Structures are given as structure tokens and as C-alpha cells.
Amino acid sequence: MTTTHAAQTWWYRKRYRRDMAMNLRLPEELANALRDLSETTGRSQQGLAREALEEYVRDYALRDYPKEVRHLVTPAPAGSWDDVILLDPPLPAGTDVQTMLSEQRDQRY
């Protein structure tokens, strides 16, 4: 009877989370800077390192663009509903943003 790799390693996946764990050896100067930043910000060293890696991986493809235009093609950070701008005053009843913008364009031309 032949078993698949997944079947052979189920015990490992069950015991450990699906997130990848890794050991990272840092030069003493970088380790001290990370420790200081962690104390200053009140965030964990792991969280700071994870955020830096996420940013590096996200922006890696941008390395071929000139620095002057990278901001034009950089993905926007993931936000929350707290970042949504509420219109003040609110739109008139029965009007949505798309209709309002369309009317404004028509008035310009």
C-alpha cells in the first residue's frame, strides 16, 4: 500500500500550525536595533519582523521601476472601515457617488 506525502505528514500538520515557523539569525547590531524598536513601539519583535518581510515581499516586484515612479505602482496598504472618508454633508437622498460624479462631469463639458 502506497501512501501520499500528505498522508505521511498529517501528524506534523496536526501538531504544528499551518503557519511557517523559522529561525532567523541576525547580526548583533540588527538584533539590538530590532529590540530597541520593539521597546519603543510596544510591539513584538516577531510582529515587526513579519511586517518588514510582508512589505519587502509585496514591493519586491517594484525594484525594476525608477524610484521616482514607484509610488504610482505601489499597492495600497490594506485598510479598514476606519479609513473610509464619510462625506460631510451627506449626499442628498436618492443620490449615489457615481451619479453625482457623472452629473459633475456633464456640467464641465
Does the reported pTM lie above 0.75?
no
Residue 81 lies in a domain: no
- Asked if residue 99 belongs to a domain, the reply is no
Give a yes or no: residue 24 inside a domain: yes
Class of residue 62 by CB neighbours under 10 A (exposed 0-12, middle 13-18, buried 19+): middle
Decide if 40 is inside a domain.
yes
Q: Is residue 22 part of a domain?
A: yes
Examine residue 57 and state whether it is found in any structural domain, yes or no: yes
Per-residue model confidence as pLDDT tens digits over 4-48: 666 666 666 666 556 777 888 999 999 999 999 999 999 999 999
93/108: higher pLDDT: 93
Owning domain of residue 28 = 5-76
DSSP characters over 46-103: HHHHHHHHHHHHHHGGGGGS-TTTHHHHSPPPP--GGGPPPPSSPPPTT--HHHHHHH
In a domain, 39, yes or no: yes
Q: What is the chain's Cα-based Rg?
A: 24
Residue 46 included in any domain:
yes
Domain count, the chain: 1
